[in-house]
């Protein structure tokens, strides 16, 4: 086997998770290998893997990820990108041989195990970075442009007819009349 150089990933690739609906066929092969490794549980493990592979569906949209699987016991998971707390990318030897990976996504719920485990996507690195770019804090400083320095462009372009300004103008005018009256008195 050839030593594979780790692919260097440019940020903007052609990878678009929105087109993903099904896991890669390699996932079925992976499940088969894992089933073989369980020795005694082989038939059951193979059946479960087969069911999971054939019913597994993904949907990546603008807000978050949806995944579902199962026949008798159906399960569906929804996660919004913004609620992602940490992303784990795990590859064991077999997965590396098959070019697979497990992307585990965690939200702030109390469980130690991952809320969503995305399997069978060959471009796992790209998927991880796709999720990373959409989780909170990944875009950096725009998240908290310091409270003392509000964005300048917006208020300037805004017509300044808000209540505070109107009030201030009233106060100024009242003061003006007061000052004028005082001037006349002596």
Partner 1 sequence: MSAAPTERAAQWVYTGLWRILAGWFRVPRQPPTLPAAASESVEAFGPAPEFLRYLKFLFWLLMLPMDIPVLAIWVVMLVVVPIVGLVLSPLFIFLAIAPDIVAYVAIHLRYDTTWYVLSPRSLRIRRGIWVIHETTITFENIQNVEVVQGPLQRYFGIASVHVQTAGGGGGGRRGEGPAMGAHHGLIEGVKDAPRIRDLIMSRVGLSLHAGLGDEAHPDHDGHPPAAHPPAWTPEHLAVLRQINTLCAQLAARA
Residues forming contacts to partner 1 in the complex (CB under 8 A) are 1-6, 8-9, 11, 80, 82-93, 96-97, 106-114, 128-129, 132-133, 135-140, 142-144, 146-147, 150, 154-156, 158, 160, 162, 164-165, 168-169, 171-172, 175-176, 178-179, 182-183
Cβ nearer to partner 1, comparing 54 with 96:
96
What separation in angstroms does the CA of 132 have from each of 47, 85, 100, 139, 175? 34, 10, 19, 9, 56
Cβ nearer to partner 1, comparing 33 with 114:
114
CA atoms of 47 and 31, how far apart (whole Å): 9
Helix (H, G, I), strand (E, B) or coil at 162: coil
* Minimal distance, residue 71 CB to partner 1, in Å: 25
CA atoms of 50 and 61, how far apart (whole Å): 26
Cβ nearer to partner 1, comparing 55 with 107:
107
* Minimal distance, residue 104 CB to partner 1, in Å: 8
What separation in angstroms does the CA of 24 have from each of 56, 64, 70, 122, 143? 10, 20, 17, 7, 36
Cβ nearer to partner 1, comparing 15 with 22:
15
* Minimal distance, residue 53 CB to partner 1, in Å: 21
């Amino acid at each position: 086997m050839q030593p594979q150089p780790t692919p260097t990933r440019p940020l903007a690739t052609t990878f678009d998770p929105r087109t993903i609906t099904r896991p890669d066929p390699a996932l079925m092969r992976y499940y088969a290998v894992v089933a073989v490794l369980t020795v005694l549980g082989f038939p059951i493990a193979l059946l479960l893997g087969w069911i999971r592979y054939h019913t597994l569906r993904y949907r990546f949209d603008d807000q978050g990820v949806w995944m579902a699987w199962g026949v008798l016991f159906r399960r569906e998971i929804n996660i919004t990108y913004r609620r992602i707390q940490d992303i784990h990318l795990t590859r064991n030897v077999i997965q590396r041989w098959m070019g697979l990976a497990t992307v585990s996504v965690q939200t702030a719920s109390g469980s130690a195990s991952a809320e969503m485990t995305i399997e069978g996507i060959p471009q796992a690195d790209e998927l991880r970075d796709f999720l990373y770019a959409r989780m909170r804090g990944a875009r950096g400083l725009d998240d908290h442009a310091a409270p003392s320095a509000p964005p300048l462009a917006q208020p300037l372009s805004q017509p300044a007819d808000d209540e505070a300004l109107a009030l201030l103008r009233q106060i100024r005018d009242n003061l003006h009349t007061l000052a004028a009256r005082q001037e006349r008195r002596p």
